[in-house]
Amino acid sequence: MNAPMKRRRLRLAAAVAVTAALLGGAAAVPAAAITSAPGAPAAPEAPVAHGSDSPDHRLTEDELRREVARTLEDAGFIGLTVEVRDGHRRIHARAGEAELNTGRPVPFGAHYRAASVTKSFVATVVLQLVAEGRLSLSDPVDKWLPGVVSGNGNDGRRITVRNLLQHTSGIHNYDYSDDTGDSAADFDRTRFDHVSPEQVVAGAMKHRPDFPPAPADDPEPDWNYSNPGYVLAGMIIQKVTGRAWPEEVRDRIIRPLGLTGTYEPGDDPRLKAPYAHTYQRFPGSNTWTDTTLRNVSWGGAAGSLISTDRDLDRFFTALLGGRLLPPAQLAEMRRTVPVGPNFEVAFPHAQYGLGMMRQPLSCGGYRWGHGGDLEGATVRTGFTEGGRRSVTISSSGKTDDDEQLLRAEAALQSLTDRVLCDGVRPSRKL
């Protein structure tokens, strides 16, 4: 839902329609581990409206472990961790390895690149500024960044802050690799490059808009995923507050919620321990490239945060529970539009709000959250309407093969739906 890797996202969308049946049929699965912990906070919510909320129908921890191992196998991942919260209980499961050919398990509580989940943090700060009367969703971009969005038909006088957060601006989804290449050698050559927000926006301005910006009241606007739009949102935060967007995210969200594993790394290419290595199989290569060490400054406000399973759960639970935004602004965030046929092929019936995605659950109701993708890494989050149940998933190991990308996305969505619909019951003590 949400990838700074534009070309891979488009290839995934194209592949889904052709290979949608691939998820059926289970293969032999590797060993997986699971732990559980009581005492996790949960926002109040009515029970999920179907029979599996009964303890007799919820997944056992052994069944969850098998589901996670099957997901690893179906998706072709190297490593996978899952944190499930069911009411006040947290359950952790993992499969695969943290580093190729070591047999070392993926650590629980690992730090990883949250990628496009960053957008939910940035949208929250923008909406807080709206609530404070310092900014309006109807403000044109040019009010805060005069002349920045211009050229080749791009016009910051017509694009609003809402358009940026909603992906309805029409700004082309420029990616740094558009200019540098997407082979393994290209990645190694540029992995430590510093890329400024201005460079990202300038790259997008070299392209004509994909479509005109949508009016606020359009129920079915043209839609395209645009990372430069969120980079611009980060630049607007700085104009409004006089401080860089990571400082505002830190002081408004990270510190108040006690998100001790969440931070913006700047140009530091490392991850704090513990972490799992990430691996990408690039076009034209049959070998894995370790993508763990890298500068993600090009992601900026669209995708540079580092976080953990626990922190992302705390953030979204607080957000959906009304602890970060007043009711009016939370309602704006949850006011969704269709994502359009291309994106919906990979994410069926998905709708996008302001930094938040919604998809229907097979058991009724919806799941909310956001995901993120980088070379070698995938993050997915899912939360029931009131936050009673949640799942946070991080994985390593991505390939350039279209069918495998489809298989991976379908496997992740299946796991998310199963956990949120069925829940996980405690292990019985003998």
Q: Is residue 193 pLDDT above 80, yes or no? A: yes
pLDDT in tens, 299-323: 999 999 999 999 999 999 999 999 9
The mean per-residue pLDDT over the stretch 328-338 comes to 98
pLDDT in tens, 124-162: 999 999 999 999 999 999 999 999 999 999 999 999 999
Candidate from 173-182, 259-268, 337-346 with smallest mean pLDDT: 337-346
Crossing angle for the helix pair 227-241 and 118-131, to the nearest 10 degrees? 40
The mean per-residue pLDDT over the stretch 401-405 comes to 86
Phi and psi at residue 389, to the nearest 5°? -120, 145
Contacts of 194 (CB under 8 A, 6+ apart): 267, 295, 297
Please tell me whether the overall predicted TM-score, pTM, comes out greater than 0.85 for this model. Answer: yes
Q: Is residue 21 pLDDT above 50, yes or no? A: no
Q: Which residues pair with 367 in a beta bridge?
A: 359, 384
Contacts of 157 (CB under 8 A, 6+ apart): 140, 141, 142
**Quick check: 70 and 56 in contact, CB under 8 A?**
no
Q: Is 156 helix (H, G, I), strand (E, B) or coil?
A: coil
User: What per-residue confidence (pLDDT) applies to 10?
Assistant: 41
- Residue 360 confidence class, pLDDT cut points 50, 70, 90: very high
| Residue-range domains of the chain with CATH | 6-352+385-422 (3.40.710.10)
User: What per-residue confidence (pLDDT) applies to 404?
Assistant: 87
User: What per-residue confidence (pLDDT) applies to 411?
Assistant: 97
Mean pLDDT of the chain, nearest integer: 89
User: What per-residue confidence (pLDDT) applies to 425?
Assistant: 87
- 96 token code pair: 């695969």
- Residue 387 confidence class, pLDDT cut points 50, 70, 90: confident
Nearest to 121 by CA among 381, 409, 390, 370: 370
Pseudo-torsion of CA 223, 224, 230, 233, nearest 10°?
Answer: -30
- Residue 416 confidence class, pLDDT cut points 50, 70, 90: very high
The mean per-residue pLDDT over the stretch 342-354 comes to 91
User: What per-residue confidence (pLDDT) applies to 26?
Assistant: 28
Distance CA 369, CA 381 (A): 5
User: What per-residue confidence (pLDDT) applies to 428?
Assistant: 59
Q: Is residue 54 pLDDT above 80, yes or no? A: no
**Quick check: 167 and 245 in contact, CB under 8 A?**
no
Q: Is residue 40 pLDDT above 80, yes or no? A: no
Q: Is residue 44 pLDDT above 70, yes or no? A: no
Q: Is residue 276 pLDDT above 70, yes or no? A: yes
User: What per-residue confidence (pLDDT) applies to 36?
Assistant: 45
**Quick check: 61 and 33 in contact, CB under 8 A?**
no
The mean per-residue pLDDT over the stretch 416-421 comes to 97
Q: Is residue 34 pLDDT above 60, yes or no? A: no
pLDDT in tens, 226-235: 999 999 999 9
More confident position, 430 or 56: 56
- 85 token code pair: 């919260």
Sign of CA dihedral 113, 115, 117, 119: positive
Distance CA 400, CA 177 (A): 15
Furthest-apart CA atoms within the chain: distance in Å? 70
